[in-house]
Amino acid sequence: MEDSSKLNSIDLSSADITTSLSLLKQACMDSGFFYVTNHGISEEFMDQVFTQSKNFFDLPLEEKMKLLRNEKHRGYTPALDELLDPANQIHGDHKEGFYIGIELPEDDPQAQRPFYGTNLWPDSDILPGWRQTMERYHQQALEVVKKTARLIALALDLDANFFEQPEMLGNPIAILRLLHYEGQASDPAKGIYGAGAHSDYGLITLLATDSVSGLQICKDKDAKPQVWEYVEPLKGAFVVNLGDMLERWSNGVFRSTLHRVLLGNGEDRYSIPYFVLPGHDCVVECLPTCQSEQNPPKFPPIRCETYLLQKYQNTHADLSTYNRS
Averaged pLDDT, 96-108: 92
pLDDT band at 10 (very low <50, low <70, confident <90, very high): very high
Distance CA 88, CA 156 (A): 35
pLDDT of residue 320 exceeding 80, the answer is: no
Averaged pLDDT, 155-161: 97
Is the distance from CB of 197 to CB of 218 less than 8 angstroms?
yes
pLDDT of residue 319 exceeding 80, the answer is: no
Give tens-digit pLDDT for 252-284: 999 999 999 999 878 899 999 999 999 999 999
Residue-level pLDDT at 324: 29
Distance CA 181, CA 122 (A): 20
Q: Sheet with 33-37: list strands edge to edge.
A: 9-11, 33-37, 238-242, 204-209, 269-277, 173-181, 95-100, 75-77
Q: Comparing C-alpha atoms, which of 10, 278, 304 is closest to residue 142?
A: 278
Show me where the domains of the chain are located: 9-322
Distance CA 151, CA 159 (A): 10
Give tens-digit pLDDT for 220-254: 888 888 999 999 999 999 999 999 999 999 999 99
pLDDT of residue 21 exceeding 50, the answer is: yes
Is the distance from CB of 231 to CB of 258 less than 8 angstroms?
no
pLDDT of residue 4 exceeding 80, the answer is: no
pLDDT band at 5 (very low <50, low <70, confident <90, very high): confident
- 206 bridge partner residues: 240, 274
Q: Comparing C-alpha atoms, which of 249, 313, 259, 316 is closest to residue 282?
A: 249
pLDDT of residue 325 exceeding 60, the answer is: no
Distance CA 252, CA 250 (A): 5
Give tens-digit pLDDT for 276-292: 999 999 999 999 999 99
CATH number 3.10.110.10 is the correct assignment for the domain at 9-322: no
Q: Could you please report the per-residue DSSP string of 173-233?
A: EEEEEEEEE-SPPPBGGGTB-SEEEE---SSEEEEEE-S---EEEES-TT-SS---EE---
Q: Could you please report the per-residue DSSP string of 225-294?
A: S---EE----TT-EEEEE-HHHHHHTTTSS---EEEE---TT--EEEEEEEEE--TT-EE---GGG--SS
Give tens-digit pLDDT for 195-211: 999 999 999 999 999 99
Q: Comparing C-alpha atoms, which of 252, 233, 236 is closest to residue 244?
A: 252
173-181 and 269-277 strand pairing: antiparallel
- Crossing angle between the packed helical segments 130-155 and 43-57, to the nearest 10 degrees: 120
111 phi/psi in degrees, rounded to 5: -65, -15
Q: Report pTM.
A: 0.93
